[in-house]
Amino acid sequence: MSPRRTFTTALTVILLLGISACTRSGSGPTPGLAPPTQSAAPPTATSEPMAALVNGEGIPVAEFEAELARYRAAQSALGREVTLEQASQAVLDDLINQTLLAQAAYAAGFSVDEADLQARISALETQIGGAEKLRAWQTAHGYTPETFQAALKRSLAAAWTRDQIAASVPEAVEQVHVRQILVYSEEKALEIQSQLEAGQDFDELAALYDPLTRGDLGWFPRGYLFEPEIEKAAFALEPGQVSGIIATQVGFHILKVLERDPQHRLSPDARLALQDLALQEWLKKQREQSTIVLAP
């Protein structure tokens, strides 16, 4: 029940090495509430080939190809088979998402001046082992000094918007505390359902089929579980009520809601999951409102 994670570009990886950002933000609206329809930053020059245009701002083919090579190498090292088409889609989607996030940051007043940028580059040089090693890293990942600076600004801006979206997720939301009986055949589930209808205690049966946790799923909010059928059924119940049989890819479930709280504090894992969900919903809405042109 952990949140899904998205692909991260090589530049974002190096930025996550622990160096704090030198940024300034304006007092504009929360990015998730009013996503811009075009970039507030100067668009990328289109004299070089572009893999895509996002609201008029280009994603260079050279950067896309370098990220694609890195992504395929990383997947291969993990023993995963990914087709060229799948890899290309994953990398392009991530670069488009970064661009949309950065555009929203600029529209909300975010900025990095030249002094801040040079301080960040100097810090990266120190982190990676010197200016020569940073230049070698840039070359290996398809960057020139100019395109590296542009991509660095974009990554910083995108990270700022992600932080704003994450911060918009409250610390407490409506949640239910649920216990389940899980079996792996419909026949057994029907048998248990008959026992419950005959007056058998739910908690005793749950402990019988799961002695370790007694079937306790704990507290969870909407949008946290991978099985939406369980979530939907749980939030349709009041404390003490028992569901019917719910079939999922995992097996056959019967639920009992133990408690319900309209403002229950989120666990760290649940809050991360909701923050990831908020990001995905923001990106979906932003894509619908943006003009994205892919290279033929």
Beta bridge mates, 106: none
What pLDDT is stored for residue 214 in this prediction? Answer: 95
User: Which residues contact residue 89 at a Cβ distance below 8 angstroms, ignoring those fewer than 6 apart?
Assistant: none
CATH 3.10.50.40 fits 172-265, yes or no: yes
Q: What is the full DSSP assignment across 235-265?
A: HTPPTT-B---EE-SS-EEEEEEEEEEEEEE
Q: Hey, CA dihedral for 8, 274, 96, 32, is it positive or negative?
A: negative
- Rounded mean pLDDT of 272-281? 96
User: Which residues contact residue 103 at a Cβ distance below 8 angstroms, ignoring those fewer than 6 apart?
Assistant: 36, 38, 39, 40, 41, 54, 55, 57, 157
User: Which residues contact residue 119 at a Cβ distance below 8 angstroms, ignoring those fewer than 6 apart?
Assistant: 22
Does 131 have pLDDT greater than 50?
yes
The DSSP secondary-structure symbol of 176 reads E
Domain positions in the chain are 10-169+273-294, 172-265
pLDDT in tens, 110-129: 998 888 888 889 999 999 89
Q: How far apart are CA 236 and CA 258, in angstroms?
A: 13
Comparing C-alpha atoms, which of 177, 179, 167 is closest to residue 262?
177
Does 19 have pLDDT greater than 60?
no
- Rounded mean pLDDT of 125-154? 86
Confidence of residue 12 (pLDDT cuts 50, 70, 90): low
- Rounded mean pLDDT of 3-22? 44
Q: How far apart are CA 295 and CA 292, in angstroms?
A: 10
Q: How far apart are CA 149 and CA 9, in angstroms?
A: 15
10-169+273-294 CATH: 1.10.4030.10
Q: How far apart are CA 151 and CA 143, in angstroms?
A: 9
pLDDT in tens, 189-241: 999 999 999 999 999 999 999 999 999 999 999 999 999 999 999 999 999 99
Average per-residue pLDDT for the chain: 86
User: Which residues contact residue 80 at a Cβ distance below 8 angstroms, ignoring those fewer than 6 apart?
Assistant: none
Alpha helices in the chain, H assignment, sequence order: 10-15, 61-77, 84-107, 114-128, 131-140, 145-167, 186-197, 202-209, 228-235, 268-289
